[in-house]
Structure 1
Amino acid sequence: MACMFRKFKGISTMTRPTFIAHCTDDNRFQSVHDHLWAVKNLCETYAEPLHLSHVAGLAGWLHDAGKYAQTFQDYINKSHDGDPNTHPGQVNHAFAGARLLGAFLNQNFDDDAIYLSELIENVVMAHHNAGGPYDYVTPTSGESPFLQRQSQKIKDWTISEIKQHFFEDFSQASFEAYLDEAIHEVSMIPDKQQETQENFYLRYIASCLIDADHLETGDFMVGKTTQQESQGASLDALCRINEEKAALQARQNATDTTSGQGMINRLRGEMSQYCLAAGQADQGIYSLSVPTGGGKTLAGLRFALNQCVTHYLDHIIIVSPYTTIIEQNTRAIRQRLDIEPSDRSTVLEYHSAIGNDQVEQDDPKNDRYYYARDTWDAPIIMTTQVAYLNALYGRGSKNLRHMHRMVNSVVIFDEIQSMPTKAVEMNNVAMNWLAHEGKSTLLLCTATQPSLSHDVLPIGIDAPKEIIPDIPSVETAFKRTELVDHTAKVWELDDLMNGLKSELTRVSSVLAVMNTKKAARQAFQQFNELNLDVKGYHLSTAMCAAHRKKVIKAIRENLKNQMPVVVFSTQLIEAGVDLSFGSVFRSLAGIDSVIQAAGRCNRNHETKIG
């Protein structure tokens, strides 16, 4: 279950082999044999969780068979020697492996052999295609690029040439036995899954191949050594640390029996215990309907760590709607698990606001971070809904490489209600595959659970198993706010300013959540014109990440020091941002948004009611 940091030990030579796969400017050469065998072995490892090692391994073994063509060898030798008339893609080497497999299977009319042929030929032919294997059907025209590729005439080589040289390097009898194993693995996929889930199996095998090919090629080109060593702490070790912290927190909670904070902490401890029990139960799709401020981040982490230990799962992937939540939760989880600030690969933060400038260039753990970033081979991955959906559906090898890490893992959807409406059903399809065929556990976290089941949506999921046994009682226990309805009158900005001034006579901190970036900015500007002796802040997704992070830090310091403060924000502050205000104003919105906004009020039970 330990994640692995791979260093390349690859076989390279200063003497040009007969068939070159890669070469470097410092005259190192890698043979086609060594490259194919190394990629095959990596693919086998990646696909082992779904018992498709031979299927993925076959793709790895065949993917660059076209480099046995003399035309490719002429090209790569001329390119290495500086011939200006050569350019990448000059020789079609990607189709040869598919044609070679077709030569073995074209008289095999067994359904499983045909299915394997479609999987492997498609993946191999598309392994240099930015669209990946998804372009085997064109929805608008009904044409099949896959079938067009199968019949396309190739002038760069003949299949007899490829077959001859391939089996000079490898045993044909061993290859045929391996092919039979791959067909057997496909036969273990139920017919219905073969028919309805082929897109995900295609994507999965392609993900294994592209990740292995990029990793192996990149390592050869920079000349690393071959071995694998543990990358950071294992999930078992992290689970032990977390259980020790949970036990310590429980003892501390037991000593505070009078304060509001103590009461909230005990309730959070109860939520954590429920998650511990569920974490040690069966796999499946779970929901965690903890009220806002109920400690779902650490409770969900406890659930996930115990699921990984109980079921030998490989990764925890936490999907959040906003980078502000990711940054906040990453800090909380790293602190909880005693992870050093310099260790950016045990809990990997993956989103658009993370740049190379945020990683110390002199850090010896630098390679581990970049490896984890490119491959998602980390114990815990904190990422966005966009990156998650890109891994499942997006173009480009960067996205495709991540997909196979989602199987045999725990995927936590933080604030699942914020999934864009247009993406809900495509996410439901993915969740069904991950839970049923992908051997993953899914956890839907929010105080306002959306209805995603089959009886509500045409494309739904199995009804999640709720972790919290008595949600109404828990909601009552966590009640810390009173909702006041001011919708009888349409408020202008002047009305909001009067309401803020009135609340500031009662509390020291107020939050106003607006529906648009423009409204939040205008309210902030008008508040500043009042010249009150109160610090005002503005938060919006229009701000760059570094600026937003700086503002949230300043707000947190003001709240900690109980200095008068008013914050004007878009709804980004509603989803999981750990700030607590004495009073909150919310522009008219759906009840889920109102509940989420209320979660920023009296969050830690600083007063009896907020």
Structure 2
Amino acid sequence: MSEDSKQISSKEYIAHINEYSGQVQSVKEHSENTAKLCREFSVPELADFMYALGLQHDIGKYQRSFQKRIRGANVRVEHSGCGALAAEEQYPVPMSLMMAYCIAGHHSGIPDGGFANDTADVVTLAGRLKRTFEDFGIYKDDLELPEVNAKEWVSFLVRDFERRPEMLVDKFAFLTRYAFSCLVDADSMDTADFCKAKELPKRLRADFEECLDKVIRKFDSFVCETKLQKARSLLQEQAFARARKDGEIYLMNMPTGSGKTLASVKVALERAVAGKKKRIIYVIPYNSIIEQTAEVFGNLFGDDMEILRHQSTFSYEDTENISEDYRESAKTAMENWDAPFIITTAVQFFESVYSNKRGKLRKMHNMADSILIFDEAHLMPQDYLQPCLQAIAFLTRYLHSEAVFLTATMPDYRRLIQTYALPDANIIDLIEDRSQFKQFQKCRYTYLGEIDSISLLTHAHNSPSKLMIVNKKATARKLYQECSGLKFHLSTYMTSLDRTRVLGDIRTELRRLEEDYPNLENVPEERRITIVSTSLIEAGVDLDVHTVYRETAGLDSILQAGGRCNREGKRAMADVFIFDLADEAKRGPEDEKRSIARKLLDGYPDIADNKCIEEYYDRLYFMNEEQIQKNTLCREGSRLESIPFKSYAEKFEIIDSRTFSLVVPQDEYSRNLVEALRYTKAGNIRKLQKYCCTIQRWELEDLIRQYAVEDFGTGIYCLTNTDYYDRELGITFEAKDYFL
């Protein structure tokens, strides 16, 4: 021990100073508090390990130079590597390796493992552990590191993968991110509690039993007289009965119109109450669906459930009609998901699990001991299907959560999970008897073949209300411009604000049409409604039109489009027409999903038949193993000491990074936010989300060349010439013409 270290008694080693009160927290106190919280957050199998991890994380603060820095000296000190070195000294491999990843990265993020020949200037774990640190050995006089049963720890690590070493890398990485999550949240919470200027917000609350009672009363209130209503009730009762079995993953395959959303939340509440689970996390594929889901649950549960919404397009700062206490509690809960009921997106969920960063991973440990509902589960991205399924399988097996997959077009998830994620996963089909599905077949699907846009519009002309869905935004715009009469356009070229407005207008006109023409007969031409949209309208948008036209796409997309047709079953049968646009058919390579669907259109008289859906997913997934597994983590690094945590996290993107959000100021509030961005170079993108549209990189570059877009050096791109935006069409890419 150096003479410098001896000059400070252990009680004087400072971790934090409260800038408001001047009070001092010692390294020992902070380390022990963090260790206790780590253990409290942990699943029982890792509790002792987590305590040891928390106790060691700030050992580097025992360096003399750090103590000078915290007392005001202008010196730069790295402290996180010291705890990693201490772990290597105190605990056996691979336990010490997991600790080292977590402790070395607890500020900057879990690093790549690197290689034995990495030098000290390389930012991998291997490189950082070769750096020279001041003597920090005084920690041994201050902290008593506990023993951790290495045999039990290793047994938990290798469980299920004794004969599959390649998968062991994935499990080790998963548990490392989980341990990191416990550590950084414990560290953040103790630091915030000590350094606070005022009382921290209270935790959001919920009464699961009272909410379950409300859901039961809701189901009891439903009328059950028609064949459709009776079929819906039979399916729901089948799901509820089978959900009483103990499982890890539950598959709820129910047709559109069968009440899946409400049924899923009843199952979730029953499982949460029975298993004393901490929270329910409702995962939705798109931001656009969250609004109506949150509204449904909010209206149903009222004050018995304080719901946390975590999505990129929503800001609690701008939300009206909520109390200040609720606002502050929700904003805090968004950091670590310490809330009883969370509604979020698949992007938020999976990119958090596979992140390496403190801010995102902090919430991962609160996915444990939870009920996880995946709405529209078939929309999990194919390129990342293996890691997504594996994350769910590991959360349910090792962190004691339960998952519910919810969709009307269910892939063979049992086989997929057992093939690509966890061989003996305990999976329960909530719907085994599908005989009632035929009652929900309210549409016939007809393939028109190749057709030009004029012929398509002529074919659709007499329909009182029709929804025409195409694959490209430019196609939607062109088709909309060729339409006549009462028409609406939807695409992500439009801002979220305008899409919401247009959807509201569509619902109003559809309602008026039914009121004025109850049988939808003899509707005059000027009252016939045409909606032209991209696929954004397919999932979760509650519309009911007379006829649907869908450009060929994946079978799941076609059937989702059909779910907008005759949705309430008011007619015995309605029509969904599938087509190839003549101009589009000659452009570019064939999309795989589209190609498979087109072959099935020729082979099946009814593409909504379960056998057709099964064959579609078999062709898509089980004949394409390389595509499914190309982004598996263990392919990136096959040794525990070389796992590329940082590199893999940066690569893991569910949403295509080649697209950009463009802010379009549309009112005084948004214009003020953009002006503040221009002059302060700082802004809150979440406040601007509803004013954003989505464009490709080359489209953004084209607008920049035309001096229509600037980012003011912030990376937040804003449309500065609003002549390039039309409220019905969205971004136009060329200015309006003016005639003098």
TM-score band, normalised by the shorter chain?
0.7 to 0.9
1-side partners of 2:477 and 2:178: how far apart? 45
Q: Which moved more, 1:37-46 or 1:561-570?
A: 561-570
Aligned to 1:476: 438
2-side partners of 1:38 and 1:275: how far apart? 44
Which amino acid letter does the alignment assign opposite residue 370 of structure 1?
K
1:25 aligns with 2:19: yes
Aligned to 1:8: none
Which amino acid letter does the alignment assign opposite residue 182 of structure 2?
C
CA-CA distance at 1:119 after TM superposition: 1.6
Aligned to 2:93: 114
1:317 aligns with 2:268: no
1:609 aligns with 2:573: yes
Aligned to 1:447: 408
1:67 aligns with 2:53: no
Deviations 1:141-180 (A, max 9, x none): 99993333333322xx21423334xx2xx4x3xx3xx323
Note closer, same or farther for the CA distance 1:277–1:371 as it changes in structure 2 (3 Å cut).
farther
1-side partners of 2:390 and 2:57: how far apart? 29
Q: Which moved more, 1:587-596 or 1:228-237?
A: 228-237
Q: Of residues 404, 413, 417 in structure 1, which corresponds to 2:365?
A: 404
Note closer, same or farther for the CA distance 1:237–1:62 as it changes in structure 2 (3 Å cut).
farther
Aligned to 1:103: 89
Deviations 1:448-504 (A, max 9, x none): 112345479962555843211222x222011211222211xx222212221231213
Aligned to 2:503: 552
8 Å Cα contact 1:288-1:443 kept in structure 2: yes
Aligned to 1:596: 560
1-side partners of 2:472 and 2:88: how far apart? 56
Pairwise CA RMSD: 2.9
Aligned to 1:541: 492
Q: Which runs of 5+ in 1 are unaligned?
A: 1-15, 80-84, 106-112
Which amino acid letter does the alignment assign opposite residue 48 of structure 2?
H
8 Å Cα contact 2:390-2:417 kept in structure 1: no
Which amino acid letter does the alignment assign opposite residue 209 of structure 1?
L
Which amino acid letter does the alignment assign opposite residue 479 of structure 2?
A
DSSP-derived class of the 1:607 partner: coil
TM-score, length-scaled by structure 1: 0.81
Q: Of residues 320, 336, 348 in structure 2, which corresponds to 1:387?
A: 348
Which amino acid letter does the alignment assign opposite residue 34 of structure 1?
E
Q: Which moved more, 1:598-607 or 1:141-150?
A: 141-150
CA-CA distance at 1:355 after TM superposition: 2.1
Aligned to 2:473: 517
1-side partners of 2:287 and 2:447: how far apart? 31
Q: How many pairs does the alignment contain?
A: 540
1:466 aligns with 2:434: no
TM-score, length-scaled by structure 2: 0.68
DSSP-derived class of the 2:494 partner: coil
Which amino acid letter does the alignment assign opposite residue 205 of structure 1?
A
Q: Of residues 120, 123, 128 in structure 2, which corresponds to 1:149?
A: 128
Note closer, same or farther for the CA distance 1:539–1:266 as it changes in structure 2 (3 Å cut).
farther
Q: Of residues 14, 33, 41 in structure 1, which corresponds to 2:36?
A: 41
Aligned to 1:240: 213
CA-CA distance at 1:394 after TM superposition: 2.1
2-side partners of 1:414 and 1:138: how far apart? 41
8 Å Cα contact 1:207-1:401 kept in structure 2: yes
Which amino acid letter does the alignment assign opposite residue 82 of structure 2?
A
CA-CA distance at 1:138 after TM superposition: 7.0
1-side partners of 2:263 and 2:45: how far apart? 32
Note closer, same or farther for the CA distance 1:159–1:20 as it changes in structure 2 (3 Å cut).
closer
Deviations 1:5-47 (A, max 9, x none): xxxxxxxxxxx97222222433343322332222222211111
CA-CA distance at 1:390 after TM superposition: 0.9
1-side partners of 2:177 and 2:458: how far apart? 56
CA-CA distance at 1:139 after TM superposition: 13
Note closer, same or farther for the CA distance 1:331–1:423 as it changes in structure 2 (3 Å cut).
same
CA-CA distance at 1:230 after TM superposition: 5.7
8 Å Cα contact 1:100-1:159 kept in structure 2: no
CA-CA distance at 1:274 after TM superposition: 2.5
2-side partners of 1:138 and 1:336: how far apart? 55
CA-CA distance at 1:137 after TM superposition: 4.6
Note closer, same or farther for the CA distance 1:241–1:138 as it changes in structure 2 (3 Å cut).
farther
1-side partners of 2:494 and 2:358: how far apart? 29
Which amino acid letter does the alignment assign opposite residue 325 of structure 2?
P
1:432 aligns with 2:393: yes
DSSP-derived class of the 1:44 partner: helix
CA-CA distance at 1:276 after TM superposition: 2.0
Note closer, same or farther for the CA distance 1:357–1:548 as it changes in structure 2 (3 Å cut).
farther
2-side partners of 1:367 and 1:201: how far apart? 31
Note closer, same or farther for the CA distance 1:597–1:373 as it changes in structure 2 (3 Å cut).
same
2-side partners of 1:124 and 1:570: how far apart? 46
8 Å Cα contact 1:279-1:302 kept in structure 2: no
8 Å Cα contact 2:282-2:373 kept in structure 1: yes
Which amino acid letter does the alignment assign opposite residue 77 of structure 2?
V
Which amino acid letter does the alignment assign opposite residue 438 of structure 2?
T
Q: Which runs of 5+ in 2 are unaligned?
A: 1-9, 515-526, 575-740
CA-CA distance at 1:387 after TM superposition: 0.9
8 Å Cα contact 1:288-1:446 kept in structure 2: yes
DSSP-derived class of the 1:334 partner: helix
Q: Which moved more, 1:113-122 or 1:201-210?
A: 113-122
8 Å Cα contact 2:250-2:403 kept in structure 1: yes
Deviations 1:282-301 (A, max 9, x none): 12222111111221111111
1:76 aligns with 2:32: no
1-side partners of 2:229 and 2:14: how far apart? 63
Deviations 1:55-87 (A, max 9, x none): 1222211111221222111011115xxxxx44x
CA-CA distance at 1:356 after TM superposition: 4.2
Note closer, same or farther for the CA distance 1:362–1:331 as it changes in structure 2 (3 Å cut).
closer
2-side partners of 1:469 and 1:240: how far apart? 26
CA-CA distance at 1:188 after TM superposition: 4.3
Matches within 5 A, 1:300-339: 300-339=264-303
2-side partners of 1:282 and 1:92: how far apart? 48
DSSP-derived class of the 1:151 partner: coil
2-side partners of 1:304 and 1:526: how far apart? 47
2-side partners of 1:186 and 1:198: how far apart? 10
8 Å Cα contact 1:56-1:205 kept in structure 2: yes
Which amino acid letter does the alignment assign opposite residue 433 of structure 1?
F
Deviations 1:334-388 (A, max 9, x none): 2222348xx7xx3221111012443359622222111221111222221112111
Note closer, same or farther for the CA distance 1:182–1:373 as it changes in structure 2 (3 Å cut).
farther
Aligned to 2:139: 162
Matches within 5 A, 1:257-406: 257=225, 263-339=227-303, 346-360=306-320, 363-406=324-367
Aligned to 2:106: 127
Q: Of residues 451, 459, 465 in structure 2, which corresponds to 1:499?
A: 459
DSSP-derived class of the 1:136 partner: coil
Which amino acid letter does the alignment assign opposite residue 101 of structure 1?
A
DSSP-derived class of the 1:606 partner: coil
